[in-house]
Amino acid sequence: MSRHDAVSNETLETRYDEYMMPIWKSLNVPLRRASDCTVEDFDGNEYLDVFSGISVTNVGHRNDAVVDAAKAQLDEFVHGCSYVHPNRPVADLAERIAEITPGDLRKSFFCNSGTEAVEGAIKLARKYTGSKEVVALEMGFHGRTLGSLALTGNHTYKREMGPAINDAVHAPAPYRYRWGADADSEAAFADRAAAEIEHVIGTHTSDDLAAIVVEPVMGEGGIVVPPKGWLERVAEIAHDHDALLIADEVQTGYGRTGSMFATEHFDATPDILTQAKGIANGLPLGAFTASPEIADAFESGDHLSTFGGNPVACAAALATIDELEGGIVAETAEKGAWLDDELAALEDDFDVVGDTRGLGLMQGIELVDPTETGPRGAAPAPAKALAATVGDELRDRGIIVGVGGYYKNVVRFQPPLTITTDQLDRTLGELRAVLEEVTADA
Ligand SMILES: Cc1ncc(COP(=O)(O)O)c(C=O)c1O
């Protein structure tokens, strides 16, 4: 099999086996072409994409405005190395990000990915505070290079390759379904989950804290939405310890949760905000943004990336933001609220649906085995194999969803934000049919 043979789903998969490192089990949908919410493989099959390449193509695959902006920039210049040759796409995007980010977040650094954004944010927090230690959350995901892997609170990403450099300490996640069902109220659980962070700082650090890093809604951890009041308490705890709050919005940013950034749902502004994924609708770009006071702690030579802030990616990002602000974010909030209600109804109809949760078009359903008790004796046992089956069955019916979460038992719905209610309705119909089928077999 070689690149000279005719391309089909099978030949592509075979060449992946031969020439690519075996790090991932694919969705079995080799990509020939994609447009808005539809992707097509090499055997002529079309799929409704309800996962957007892990939450990236927020304004739709091959969005016209984004493609035009990138093509126009390709005709001007492709590389400027953002600091070596100051250039307009970089300056325009930095200014635009200052306008759309909350509070007095104003100065940005551009890189190529989420993992780099997180690592840069940690360097800045250390430089600004003069402290070293970092607290992150169990179940959190912040990337796979050794620095961001240190913050990732899931040992399966580190197996046989850890410990990561300067491992962070981890506090329990605000995961009410499993760790807080006995709390009297959302507020009581918010207090308890925040107190756990304070406890970890007291017991696991020498109080030389540079930052607390959290995802405002956990993505890879399984679409975990924190209780109201929690993020505000985490910000207070960070500041009480002269540390910074870093909100990792790599997955939640750029409209995903029905606001431009997920922190806007809460009454807390982060000191540093990391971005990537949806920022340029698929072109590689990452960023972290801070107030001038914090950003100016960096001095010349403290940080750089050769490709960071690629002008084509920055031009695409500017067009992406225009598209999002043209109504997509507001519609995401509406469609998301509707989808949230529809998914919640599944909890009553199917015992295997233990929990449904999300914000905007970042939704998940947690599948369980109601006959077995889960970890630490709380909610029912995670049903990992069932979630994989549901994902495969949906794919065979022409719908791509994600399957993940800390226990790999969460079916994730993170479509392009341009998805229509008819397409969401079709997804729900097929999901119900699949759940009926798999539970009938049980
Ligand atoms: C919250 C969060 N941070 C960081 C990352 C790492 O981003 P990347 O894969 O672009 O390095 C991810 C990726 O899923 C993420 O969800």
Q: What pLDDT score does 344 carry?
A: 98
Tell me how many degrees the CA angle 192-188-237 measures, rounded to the nearest 5. Answer: 45
Does the domain made of 64-324 have the CATH classification 3.40.640.10?
Answer: yes
Q: How far is the CA of 215 from the centre of ligand 1 (A)?
A: 10
What pLDDT, on the 0 to 100 scale, is given for residue 158? 87
The CA 431 to ligand 1 mean position distance, Å, reads 27
Substitution site in 141, 256, 261 for ligand 1 pocket (most atoms within 8 Å of beta carbon):
141
What does the pLDDT read at residue 307?
96
SS3 of 273-299: the string is EEECHHHHECECCEEEEECHHHHCCCC
Q: Which residues lie below 8 Å from residue 55, measured CB to CB, with a gap of 6+?
A: 219, 251, 256, 277, 278, 362, 414
Confidence (pLDDT) at 148: 94
| Ligand 1 atom nearest residue 219's Cα | 16
**Ligand 1 center to 271 CA (angstroms):** 19
Query: Using alpha carbons only, what angle is made at residue 68 by residues 65 and 70, rounded to the nearest 5 degrees?
Result: 110
Please list, in sequence order, all residues whose beta carbon lies within 8 angstroms of the beta carbon of residue 235, skipping any fewer than 6 positions away: 245, 268, 269, 270
Residues with Cβ within 8 Å of 95's Cβ and at least 6 positions away in sequence, in order, are none
Amino acid at 232: E
Q: Which atom of ligand 1 is nearest to the CA of 115?
A: 11
Region(s) of the chain under CATH 3.90.1150.10: 9-62+327-440
The pLDDT value given to residue 204: 95
Largest interatomic CA distance in the chain: 64
Instruction: At 288, list the tokens.
Output: 């972290």
pLDDT in tens, the chain (442 residues): 778 778 999 999 999 999 999 988 888 899 999 999 999 999 999 999 999 999 999 999 999 999 999 999 999 999 998 899 999 999 999 999 999 999 999 999 999 999 999 999 999 999 999 999 999 999 999 999 999 999 999 988 988 887 777 778 999 999 999 999 899 999 999 999 999 999 999 999 999 999 999 999 999 999 999 999 999 999 999 999 999 999 999 999 999 999 999 999 999 999 999 999 999 999 999 999 999 999 999 999 999 999 999 999 999 999 999 999 999 999 999 999 999 999 999 999 999 999 999 999 999 999 999 999 999 878 999 999 999 999 999 999 999 999 999 999 999 999 999 999 999 999 999 999 999 999 996 6
Q: Ligand 1 atom closest to Cα of 148?
A: 4
The residue to which tokens 């500041």 are assigned: 239
* Overall residue count recorded for the chain in this entry: 442
Q: Which residues line ligand 1 (CB under 6 A)?
A: 54, 113-115, 118, 141-143, 215, 219-220, 248, 250-251, 276
H or E segment to which residue 233 belongs: helix 230-240
Q: Residue 51: which of 409, 363, 436, 407 has the closest Cα?
A: 363
Nearest residue to 26 (alpha-carbon basis) of 390, 393, 392, 283: 392
Pocket test for ligand 1, best of 57, 115, 214 (most atoms within 8 A of CB): 115
Domain with CATH 3.40.640.10 in the chain: 64-324
Q: Which atom of ligand 1 is nearest to the CA of 286?
A: 10
CATH topology of domain 9-62+327-440: Aspartate Aminotransferase, domain 1 (3.90.1150)
Tokens standing for residue 302:
């403290």
Residues with Cβ within 8 Å of 195's Cβ and at least 6 positions away in sequence, in order, are none
**Terminal alpha carbon distance of the chain:** 41
